[in-house]
Amino acid sequence: MKTKFLDIHLKGTHSLADPNEVARPFIEMGHRRVKVTVRFEGKTLSFHGAIQKKRSLLHGLRQEYQKVLGVFPNDYFQLQFFEDTSTYGVGMPEELEAVLLSDKQAFTIFKSFTAGKMRGIICMILGYKNPQTKIDKSLLLCENLKRGIRKKPELLKSF
């Protein structure tokens, strides 16, 4: 399932003005997680996102994405949604996946979390750019899970 590209602009810092045309089919089918592709002046960016209706606005074009694309609040850009068929609603970093698959106990604990908490943990690891840091943090995460640590801020801390 995917939509056509829609010309749209920002309303406020990261809300999309009147996104109903592009979001409606996903809302009607109960899809809250989507893959998003944005095009602006020859640049294309794809990312995972959530459809969150609030005062007839759709939130989702984070300022870091705006900066990459060069989009300003009054600019019109093209937006397209795709059905998100990923397991977690966000791309799993290879480093975290490899570490979790090598540690069955930690993976079982990870899979027991809610979808939102799993996404949050994945996003924490995605926040690191260096692959070795992602591996190190993934190993630390697994050890902390096995120690019984469940609070997100403490999962990547050394004890």
Residue ranges covered by each domain of the chain:
6-83, 94-154
**How many other CB atoms are there within 10 angstroms of residue 129's CB atom?**
7
% of the chain residues with pLDDT over 90: 54
pLDDT at position 155, please?
A: 94
CA-based nearest residue to 146, from 95, 102, 114, 116: 102
pLDDT at position 56, please?
A: 46
Fold of 6-83: Elongation Factor Tu (Ef-tu); domain 3 (2.40.30)
d(CA 157, CA 151): 11
The residue ranking higher by pLDDT, 8 or 53, is 8
Give the H/E segment covering residue 6: strand 6-11
Greatest alpha-carbon pair distance for the chain in Å reads 50
Give this prediction's pTM. Answer: 0.75
pLDDT at position 50, please?
A: 80
- Determine how β-strand 15-16 pairs with β-strand 53-54: unpaired
